[in-house]
Homo-oligomer: A and B are copies of this chain.
Amino acid sequence: MKNFKIALAQFSPHIGNIENNTQKMIEQANQAKQQHADIILFPELSMIGYPAEDLFLRPSLKKRTEAALAELSKVKDILMVFGFVHHTEDGQRFNSAAVMKDGEILGIYNKQNLPNYSVFDEKRYFAVGQQHLIFEYLGHKFGVLICEDIWSLDTVQQLSQLNVDSVLVLNSSPYEVGKPQHRLTTMAKVAKELNLNLIYSNQVGGQDDLIFDGSSFAINRNGDIVLRAASFKEELYYVDFDTEQAAYTKQTLAPELDTMAEIYQSLVMATRDYVQRSGFPGVILGLSGGIDSALTLAIAVDALGADKVQAVMMPYTYTSQISVEDAAEQAKALGITFGIAEIHPIVNSFMQTLYPFFGDRPADATEENLQARARGTLLMGLSNKFGNLVLSTGNKSELAVGYCTLYGDMVGGFAVLKDVYKTIVFELAKYRNSISETPVIPERVITRPPSAELRPDQKDQDSLPAYDVLDAILYAYIEEDSSQADIIARGFDQATVEKVIQLVDRNEYKRRQGAIGPRISSRAFSRERRYPIVNGWKAGI
């Protein structure tokens, strides 16, 4: 046995772009070689990126993969372990890891545990692997596992019984609040109990609604954490195995993030990756003087830089003076492009056209929606003309109960706060102000009572319960799948609970047409909460 060095590639693939990803893997392998690494470990499916969804099914994937393998085989003098889609001769398709050295594939491991719950659909795409892969290298015995495998006690136990020293784990494990710490704590226990060194490399980057946090790590078989990588950054990390200690030696431990820092950074990365990988020159958003758009703006600026961000304030009769002031103040503080566009003439022209149809029907939400849709159309006009992506500014609480206008404030390609409850929006705003010398979100935006300003003296709390109550009910119903009866039994007001749940159920159609946005919870309104629109469930029963 000799000393050796492993590079952990906390890799950010461009989903589907096999050619570029492969080139980047080659560059990173060469870089690791220069640092005298003996092995480089990439994340799960690093070649195509995770999740490539139905691209996994395209017949031409096999040919593309073969071409990429040919490219990778040119890398010499470093052992590479990377993820790829493995098409076998009998027509099966696996989520696999290849062990390659000097152009030779020394072994292929097919993932044995395919998650098919939550955001995962792996049984749609892959056949189940049936056996372990073990290889000896540099006098050390390695096993290979892929993501879900390491969470299956059976699977890991089998490896441990094969006297493996170190397990190389390829991962594309999506982020949710607290997940980086949860992984680490759980895996330290697994390492210790099963007496295995764990080298865990995780994908990083935003992909549509999914965030991959990276947060890769290495843990010695005694449970000691020897490497903790930063979250939300693409980077190469290294761990050294020392034969005398028969263990990996301590490396950098990135500081643990507290919850708001973690969420904030996750949203910044998700926004940056979505905008840049979609090829937009910048973003535009409507600034209302309220906290949601203020926070979205701060995130956009942190993600892209002030020069890439444009905001428009679109006041109407019910917009208060302080809203205009606060919006302008924030825009100035951040140094972004800012404009004001009055919407009176537009709303009036809609009213004029619609009145003959409306007859003497009283005013209702229809008129409020016209304001929101006038704004949405203006934003889209600016987006179409200049090419900037519209960021949608709604939060999870609003979207849950439908307190938002389809084709109005819901326009946009990316909804930054889509999975952030309103109570957390406030926390994030305070957090963001706490990390810079001068606040980037005017204090008054945080402290004034929230209002959509769509009718005189309107407050959100005229239509909705207080946000701490609303969010608690929503969390119980959405994240915890609690029934109406259970939530009422916890002490919430019956009528309030009934109303909130009815709103959630009824507004599935709105959410289905909303922009995607980054998932930070364990039950985002995205691919992991699949509810029918026509739905006779009746929560009350």
Contact = CB atoms under 8 A, between A and B. Distances in A.
Interface string A50-93: 01111101111000100000000000000000000000000000
Contacts of A353: 341-343, 345-346, 378
Interface in A3-33: 14-17, 19-20
A536 interface: yes
A19 B541 contact: yes
A92 to B, nearest CB: 14
Interface string A460-494: 00000000000000000000011101000000000
A16 B536 contact: yes
A389 to B, nearest CB: 9
Contacts of A341: 353-354, 357
A411 B485 CA distance: 36
Interface stretch (A177-185, A211-219, A272-280, A288-296): A272-280
A54 B526 CA distance: 12
A403 to B, nearest CB: 15
B357 A346 contact: no
Contact of A513 (B14, B513, B535): B513
Contacts of A482: 59
Interface of A: 14-17, 19-20, 49, 51-55, 57-60, 64, 116-117, 121, 123-124, 207-208, 273-274, 277-278, 339, 341-343, 345-346, 348-350, 352-354, 357-358, 361, 364-366, 369-370, 373-374, 376-378, 380-382, 384-385, 406-407, 411, 413, 481-483, 485, 509, 512-516, 529-538, 541
9 contacts: A17-B538, A20-B536, A60-B483, A116-B123, A277-B536, A278-B533, A345-B349, A348-B349, A369-B380
Top 7 nearest A-B pairs by Cβ distance?
Answer: A17-B536, A16-B537, A366-B384, A14-B536, A407-B407, A349-B349, A60-B483
